[in-house]
Amino acid sequence: MIDSTKTNEPLYKQIYNELLQKIIRNEYHEGDILPSEPALQDTYGVSRITIRRAMDILQTNGYVKKHSGIGTIVMNTKHGLQLKRISSFSEDNLNRDALSELVSFDIVEAPLQVVTKLHLREDVQVYKIERLRIINGEKVGFHRSFIPINKVEITQSDMVSPQASLYQVLRAHDIHLTTANETIEAMSATSMLQDQLQLEDHAPLLYIERCSFDHHEGIEFAEIYYRADRYKYHVELEGE
């Protein structure tokens, strides 16, 4: 039973969040049929319209799919990343409750790997920006970006908002990422990533290394870590 007196959050959103957490915790598995709307009405003591709104959001966000004559089926909960264009976390997740949490913002000497990958001078300084990626209240990724300070002026206040987009900041300074290359590999979470993402020891991760350029000018070197149980990569290929 949902208690509407404990929070200002609408009832349908409370029910949505509770059902979502059950899906995330695998209480409902991929392919399972969720309880019917009348059954959920009885469970939560709310109207059918309230249940339907909660279920509609689950379907819109890709967690379930309604099938006439069958019921509402739990879908694969991994978030897809498509290798088609250069885009930010915010842009990839426009239809989800996606947020960023700034972990650190520093100016440091560029690590050798960054100098090499972005073709920079060895004495250049870079912004080092670390952020957690959160979808529907769950920590799903950790991003570390290095950007030369002589290319653009970025302040901590630019990045502190949960909705902040680094690529929007770059575009505001007339920097447009025209090309990028990525490498993707599997890895086990380090102790730091276990702490940041609240994972078990040696949890599997997708590691993405991205170098982005504005017409051959090195702009960003990014180290991106996603939970392997929450993300999958989709690549679209064409023949001759």
CATH number at residue 30: 1.10.10.10
Name the phi and psi angles at 207, rounded to 5.
Answer: -110, 125
Same domain, 101 and 208: yes
- Does residue 5 fall inside a structural domain? no
Mean pLDDT of 88-99: 57
pTM assigned to the model? 0.67
Between CA 71 and CA 89 the distance in angstroms is: 32
DSSP code for 33: B
Quote the domain boundaries for residue 193.
Answer: 79-234
Give the pair of three-digit tokens for residue 198: 């609240």
For residues 86 and 158, membership in a common domain is answered with yes
Whether 21 is covered by a domain: the verdict is yes
Per-residue pLDDT for 207 more than 80?
A: yes
| Residue-averaged pLDDT of the chain | 86
pLDDT for 4 beyond 80 = no
Residue with the bigger pLDDT between 167 and 5: it is 167
Total of domains in the chain: 2
Mean pLDDT of 159-180: 93
Strand partners, 234: 82
* pLDDT over 90 at 110, yes or no: yes
Tell me: do 15 and 130 sit in the same domain: no
Residues 97 and 188: their CA atoms lie apart, in Å, by: 27
DSSP 81-98: EETTS---HHHHTTTS-E
Pair 47, 96 in one domain: no
Relative orientation angle of helices 48-60 and 11-24, to the nearest 10 degrees: 50
